Amino acid sequence: MGPSLLPKAESPYRRFRHKPVNKYNVHGPPFDVPITLTDRDGTLIHEQEGQEFLTTIIEHNDVRLLEKYFAIDPRAIPNYFDLPDNDEARDEYASLFIWAAQAGSLEVVQWLLDNQPLYADILDRDFQGYTAITAAANLFEFRYNAPAWDDICFDNSEVTMNLLLDHGACASDIGYPTNDKGRKAHSVLTLAAQWASSDLLARLIDGGADVHHTVAVAQWELPFLNRRDLPPRVAVEVDVNALFLASLYANLGGVRTLVDRRGGFGIEDVVCSPDCVGSLPVHWAARSPLEHIPASMRDEKAGCVRRTIEQLLDYAPTTINVQDKDGNTALHYATRHFGKNSRAFTPIFELLCSRGTDTSLRNYKDETPLHTLFQPEGDDGPIDITAVLLLLSHGAKVTDVDEAGNTPLHIATRDWHFIDAVALLLEYGADPAQKNLKQENALPKKMEYLLGSK
C-alpha cells in the first residue's frame, strides 16, 4: 500500500498509545528495547509485543517514523553477523524487508535497500519460503492484516517488484515453505499472474520464469474446488499453472501475455488443457471470487470477467460446452457464482448464450444452469429477471428435475429475494404443486402468500 491518506486527526498509530512491553532475548541482552516515539499530534506511541507497531509503520510506508524507530532499536546497528545463527533476530531482519515488499511499501523497500543493506538481502526467505519478490507478488493469498481489496495499491506493488528485479531479484523464484517442502509451491509468476500488468509478466518470463510451472492450490484457498465422491474433510489440491490463476482473477492482460508467451505449444494446448478435475481456464474464469470485492467495484469486476471469458472463448470456441468431471460447463459455474448480483453480471450470461452454450446440459447432480442460478453461494441478492428470461429463451426448461427431484422452482422458492424470478417461472409453466423426493411442494405456502401480497 502507498502512504496513508488518513487525515491528520486519524493517526494510524492510535492503538499504540498504551504503555510499551519490554521483551528479552533468550541469549541475554535485550534485542527488543522499549520503543517510544512521538505521533504527529505529539502523543507518545509505543511498541508492543510482537512488533505490531513496526509492521504498521511499514504497512503505511512511513520512512520518517521508521528512521526514528531504527535510531532507537539496536538492531539498526550493523552487527548482524555477530548474532548466533539460531537467534530469532536474524529471521526478523529478513522478515521486515519481505513484509515491506509484500505490503507494497515502495519507499520503505527503497530505504532499506539504500540505507540498511544488511537487512535487505534479496535472497533471504521468510518462514513460508518466500523471498522479497515472491512476497511482493503475493497480494491475494491469506495473510496477517491483509488490506481490503480497495486499499491494495497495485501500482505500488508493481513498481516494488520492478525495483527488486533491478536489484537482482530472481524472476524465476519459487517459494519453498519450511513446513511443507514436498508441496508444489507458488512461483513469482503464478502469484503475479493474478494481478500484474502485461509488461511486468513479460519481464518475468524474459527473466526465466516458467509459464508452465504448476502450483498445488488447496481447498482452503479456493472454496469452490470440486468435492464429488469425496468423504468429508478430505484435503483437495489441484495443480494449475499461471494461466488458470490469471483467468480466475480476470486478469485479461495476464491471460493474453501467458498465451502469447506459451513457448513451443499451440494455443489449444494451453487453453484446452484441463486441471486434474477436468476444469479449463474458462471454467476458472467463470468462478472469479467476489467475496472481497466492494459493492462499488462489482460492475468493474463484472466487465473484467466478461472480457476474460470472451478472450478464452476466442482462443478456443469449442470450450463453450466442455464439461468438467463434475459435469459443469462454464455456464453452470457462472450462473451459480454470479447470478445473485442483480444486473451486473448478466452480460456474462449473454456472452455465453451468444457463443452457443447448451442450457440443457446437466452436471453430476442432474442440475441445469437454471438450477444452479438459484443455488446458494453466500450472496443471496436479487436475481436479474433478464438473466432468467435469457436462459429460458435459449432452451432452459422450468420442468427439468435434478437428482433430488427439484425443479428450478423448488430451489428458487428458498429465498424471498427471488420472488420476481419465482413469479416468472410460474408464468412459464412451472408446476407449483410438483413434489420433490422429500415430497415438498415446489411452491411453499409462505412464498405463495408473498406472491399473493405483491
User: What is the amino acid identity at position 23?
Assistant: K
> Smallest Cα–Cα separation from 285: which of 383, 217, 352, 378?
352
Cell of 247: 483467468
Per-residue model confidence as pLDDT tens for the chain (454 residues): 444 444 455 899 999 998 765 554 444 344 456 789 999 889 999 988 778 898 899 989 999 999 999 888 755 444 444 445 554 554 555 678 998 999 999 999 999 999 877 778 898 888 778 999 999 999 987 444 556 677 788 999 999 999 999 999 999 999 887 666 667 899 999 999 999 999 999 999 999 999 999 999 876 667 566 556 555 545 677 899 999 999 999 999 999 999 999 999 999 999 999 998 899 999 999 999 888 888 889 999 999 999 999 999 999 999 999 999 999 999 999 999 999 988 999 999 999 999 999 999 999 999 999 999 999 876 667 899 999 999 999 999 999 999 999 999 999 998 888 899 999 999 999 999 999 999 999 988 777 766 765 5
DSSP category for residue 134: H
Single pTM value for the model:
0.88
How many alpha carbons fall within 13 Å on the CB side of residue 223? 7
Q: Are 361 and 321 in contact (CB under 8 A)?
A: yes
Handedness of CA 204, 207, 211, 214 (dihedral sign): negative
**What stretches of 103-197 show up as alpha helix (H) in DSSP?**
106-115, 132-137, 154-166, 188-192
User: What is the amino acid identity at position 132?
Assistant: A
Yes or no: is domain 1-181 CATH 1.10.10.10? no
> Smallest Cα–Cα separation from 199: which of 164, 232, 161, 244?
161
pLDDT of residue 142: 47
Cell of 63: 520512512
**Pairwise CA distance, residues 217 & 229, whole Å:** 19
Cell of 390: 435469457
Domain residue spans of the chain? 1-181
Q: Are 90 and 80 in contact (CB under 8 A)?
A: yes
CA triplet 302, 307, 312: central angle to 5 degrees?
125
b/e map 437-451, b = 16+ CB within 10 Å = eeeebbbeeebeeeb
Chain mean position to CA 352: 24
pLDDT of residue 437: 96
Cell of 186: 507458488
Q: Name 164's Cβ contacts closer than 8 Å, sequence gap at least 6.
A: 101, 109, 122, 132, 133, 136
Burial class (CB in 10 A: 0-12, 13-18, 19+), 269: exposed
pLDDT of residue 182: 67
**Pairwise CA distance, residues 413 & 377, whole Å:** 15
* Integer angstrom CA distances of residue 6 from 12, 51, 62, 155, 270: 8, 22, 13, 19, 45
- Say whether 343 sits in a helix, a strand or coil: strand
Residues in the chain: 454
Percent helix, strand and coil across the chain, each rounded to 5? Answer: 45, 5, 50
